Amino acid sequence: MSDIKKRIILITYLGLIPFYFPLFIKLLGLEFSHDKIINFEKLHLIYGSMIVAFLSGMQWQKIINYKIKNQLILPIIPLILVAFFGNNDFLNHSFLILIFSLFLSLLIDLLFLKKVNDLWFIKLRINATILAILSYLI
């Protein structure tokens, strides 16, 4: 395995740590009241939204570079879901929107970008998406 693949895999799995940060806080028995400056529940949701935005940008770049016709709007759909429905009005359902958006981003990679992505990358995306989604379900 090349050095670049190893780095991508390492960075991807390290990038999953913030998804599990609220669980680590609970396991350590630390309590943070809601009157503190940082609300760790929202931080968890913001990080997930940033990842969806990153994935959308990555997919958009591949669609443009490989001149995949009629697919340019696809990566924007998960981003729109997170941007419009992940705000405070939907805070009770934000984790569901993020789960759906992460899953939708994975489907875009599997169905529309399968010829562009290498097999090792597809496997990594599946594993990372499942682990990210699990963090919202625990």
pLDDT tens-digit readout, 47-70: 999 999 999 999 999 999 999 988
pLDDT at residue 90 is higher than 70: no
2-52 tens-digit pLDDT: 999 999 999 999 999 999 988 888 788 776 655 555 666 678 888 999 999
Dist. CA 64–CA 40, nearest whole Å: 36
Annotate 69-104 with b (16+ C-beta within 10 A) or e (fewer).
Answer: eebeebbeebbebbeebbeeeeeeebbebbbbbbeb
Output the six-digit token pair for 80.
């729109």
Q: Give the three-class secondary structure for 118.
A: coil
Residue 30 makes CB contacts below 8 A (sequence gap 6+) with none
Query: What is the average pLDDT value for the chain, to the nearest integer?
Result: 88
Task: Give the model's pLDDT for residue 58.
Answer: 95
Contact 88, 59 (CB under 8 A): no
Q: Residue length, the chain? A: 138
Neighbour count for residue 105 (Cβ, 10 Å): 26
Report residue 44: phi and psi, to 5°. -60, -45
pLDDT at 82: 85
pTM score, whole prediction: 0.88
Average pLDDT value for residue range 78-103: 81
58-62, 93-97, 118-122: range with lowest mean pLDDT: 93-97
Q: What is the pLDDT of residue 31?
A: 67
Q: Taking residues 86-107, what's their average pLDDT? A: 82
